[in-house]
Amino acid sequence: MNEPILEISGLSKNFGALRATDNVSLDLGPGEIHALIGPNGAGKSTLIHQIAGTLKPDDGVIRFLGREVNEAGPVARARMGLGRSFQVSSLAPEFSALRNVMLAVQSRQGSSFRFFKPVMRDRSLLDPAMAALDRVGLAARADVPAAELSHGERRQLEIAIALALGSKAFLLDEPMAGMGPDGSKSLTAFLSALRDEAPILLVEHDMDAVFALADRISVLVYGRIIASGSVDDIRNDPAVREAYLGNAE
């Protein structure tokens, strides 16, 4: 395999006596979807926060594109090309879907210290933003304020934003949440194609989607990775069945 895009080694994080992340190592290679699963409270969100830079690990190293990024904040990591989607929040709920994506395009183009040109007449923002919305199938809803989009549409918008950022890796936090069966099916197909553009670290509860998409799966329980491997490995791993799949289904 090639150099990994994202590489995490020996990551640990304590909240008081609680060991939320316990010596976690995982990596994300080019063109792959690496799914991170685990029961509620396993520490998936804490791990995502550390990868995105909103939380500082106590120990361990995070490398992105071959560079150590432990000291880089979330803004710097986003600018390097780490595209993160969020579970619940929208970027700018009062803005239309289009303006949300335009904000990502604006960030990618560089400085936001431009005071005079109106954004709504700026083709260099409008066109790429519209293209990103079109790719996730949200073009028809471009003018709707993000707050008025359905839950599923907001997940699509999150992905359009990550696309518009020109991300070199995607960090997707439960993109399927709140999607109807049709929505998840089309999103699954979309993500499957997306991996060729940039690899995806996927945190997801929808097991059908995970099994359909993942090249590799890591299982996180009590902050520790108890198993990591192909879909078949994980399906047949007794420890995983015990800890997770067994009582989840």
Partner 1 sequence: MEIGREGVINIVVAVALLAIPFAAVVLDETFYITLATRMAILALAAVGLNFALGLGGLVSFGHAAFFGLGGYAAGILATHAFNAEPLLLWPIEILGSNSMPVIWLTAIAISALVALPIGAISLRTTGVYFIMITLAFAQMIYYFAISWPAYGGEDGLSIYVRNGFPGVNTLNPLTFFLICYTLLIVALFLFAVFKDSRFGAALQAARQNETRVAAVGIAPYRIRLAAFVISAAIAGLAGALFADLNRFVSPSMLSWQMSGELIILIILGGTGRLFGPVAGAMIFVLVEYFLGGITERWQFFLGLTLLVVVLFARGGFIGLVAGRTRHE
User: Which residues lie near partner 1 (CB under 8 A)?
Assistant: 52, 54, 73-75, 78-79, 84, 86, 89-96, 98-99, 102-104, 106-108, 111-120, 122, 125, 143, 145, 161, 165
Query: Dihedrals φ, ψ of 117, to 5°?
Result: -75, 130
Residue tagged 């316990």 (tokens)? 22
Q: How far is the CB of 225 from partner 1 (least distance, A)?
A: 25
Residue tagged 């804490």 (tokens)? 46
Q: How far is the CB of 35 from partner 1 (least distance, A)?
A: 21
Pick between residue 114 and residue 151 the one whose CB is nearest to partner 1.
114
Q: How far is the CB of 197 from partner 1 (least distance, A)?
A: 18
Q: What is the Cα–Cα distance from 68 to 62, expressed in whole angstroms?
A: 6
Pick between residue 86 and residue 244 the one whose CB is nearest to partner 1.
86
Q: How far is the CB of 248 from partner 1 (least distance, A)?
A: 29
Q: Residue 241: how many CB atoms within 10 A of its CB?
A: 16
Q: How far is the CB of 13 from partner 1 (least distance, A)?
A: 18
CB 195 within 8 A of CB 33: yes
Pick between residue 72 and residue 226 the one whose CB is nearest to partner 1.
72
Question: Which of 38, 51, 9 is closest to 220 using CA atoms?
Answer: 38
CA distances from 21 to 38, 52, 70, 226, 235 (A): 13, 15, 15, 12, 23
Pick between residue 161 and residue 203 the one whose CB is nearest to partner 1.
161
Pick between residue 65 and residue 207 the one whose CB is nearest to partner 1.
65
Please provide the distance, in angstroms rounded to a whole number, between the alpha carbons at the two ends of the chain: 34
Q: How far is the CB of 16 from partner 1 (least distance, A)?
A: 23
Q: How far is the CB of 86 from partner 1 (least distance, A)?
A: 6
Question: Which of 76, 81, 72 is closest to 30 using CA atoms?
Answer: 81
Query: Residue 62 in 3-state DSSP?
Result: strand
Q: What is the Cα–Cα distance from 58 to 55, expressed in whole angstroms?
A: 10
Pick between residue 90 and residue 184 the one whose CB is nearest to partner 1.
90
Strands 169-173 and 82-85: parallel
CB 27 within 8 A of CB 218: no
Pick between residue 167 and residue 188 the one whose CB is nearest to partner 1.
167
